[in-house]
A = this chain, B = another copy of it.
Amino acid sequence: MSDRNKKAVVLLSGGLDSATAMAMAADEGFEVYAMSFNYGQRHSAELDCASEQANKTAKEHKVVEIDLRAFGGSALTDDIEVPKHNSTDDLSDEIPVTYVPARNTIFLSYALAWAEVLGADDVFIGVNALDYSGYPDCRPEFIEAFEAMANLATVVGVQGRKLTIHTPLIALTKAEIIKRGLELGVDYAKTTSCYDPAPDGRSCGHCDSCLLRRKGFSDIGETDPRKYVGERNE
């Protein structure tokens, strides 16, 4: 494969999507450099999962400390209550309160910096169709604009190379993502998508993200191996 042994920076959150994107990058023959962010999340479950995924697949894993909390404006980093629902039918089309200002822009900017130092021309981010209904910085047109900007921002463009932002999940449903990940051996027990996990790391099962994830497993007749609060597996 032409891409074999080429380096790629993969943004890894500890969630289901980015774990799958990383597995797909490795399957395409990339040597994976995983990058996670400690941005004042209210819980460590995400980063614990990111480390477990990276240990299995990545050549190197960098956790960058950033302080998004300084800007406020999001339920994921502030003390705003995370919305809970009983089914995906209750989810709204508005921009979620869990939106973190300019988060993907900042994350991709750090990925770009690391890619430049590594000499990597490829960055993977696990955004997908279900996300970009609500988050402006998950839309395909945002990713295209970021890629265009990135090629002007760095020596990559000056040297006649081209930086590519890969979004292998962008057109997939949650069910399709999970199906692909299971084929590639992703251990989804060691991923968390929950916006509001219990202190022991178990997922709540009722935030927007938990609901979408569980529906994805259900749609393909699989059981989500993640531990949820109040379930038999606790």
By a beta-carbon cutoff of 8 Å, the part of chain A in contact with chain B is: 62, 64-68, 70-73, 95, 99, 101-106, 109-110, 112-114, 116-117, 136-137, 139, 141-142, 145-146, 148-150, 152-155, 157-158
Q: How far is the CA of A117 from the CA of B136 in the complex (A)?
A: 15
B70 and A64 form a contact (CB under 8 A): yes
Most chain B beta-carbon neighbours within 10 Å: one of A103, A105, A109, A158 = A105
Chain B residue contacts of A103, Cβ below 8 A: 113
A148 and B145 form a contact (CB under 8 A): yes
Q: How far is the CA of A105 from the CA of B160 in the complex (A)?
A: 19
B157 and A136 form a contact (CB under 8 A): yes
A78 smallest CB distance to B (angstroms): 11
Contact with A102, one of B141, B154, B158 (Cβ below 8 angstroms): B154
Q: Which residue of B lies closest to A158 (CB)?
A: B136
A interface, by DSSP: helix, strand, loop or mixed? Answer: helix
Contact with A105, one of B73, B99, B153 (Cβ below 8 angstroms): B153
B116 and A73 form a contact (CB under 8 A): yes
**22 intermolecular pairs with C-beta atoms under 8 Å apart:** A62-B70, A65-B67, A71-B113, A101-B112, A101-B114, A101-B117, A102-B112, A102-B153, A104-B153, A105-B109, A105-B112, A106-B110, A136-B158, A137-B152, A137-B153, A139-B152, A141-B152, A142-B152, A142-B153, A145-B148, A146-B149, A148-B148
Chain B residue contacts of A95, Cβ below 8 A: 155, 158
Chain B residue contacts of A67, Cβ below 8 A: 64-65
A155 smallest CB distance to B (angstroms): 6
Given contacts A66-B66, A136-B157, A137-B154, are A105 and B72 in contact (CB under 8 A)? no
Chain B residue contacts of A109, Cβ below 8 A: 102, 105-106, 109
Q: How far is the CA of A139 from the CA of B152 in the complex (A)?
A: 8
Contact with A136, one of B65, B72, B105, B154 (Cβ below 8 angstroms): B154
Q: Which residue of B lies closest to A137 (CB)?
A: B153
A98 smallest CB distance to B (angstroms): 13
Q: How far is the CA of A73 from the CA of B154 in the complex (A)?
A: 12
Chain B residue contacts of A106, Cβ below 8 A: 106, 109-110, 113
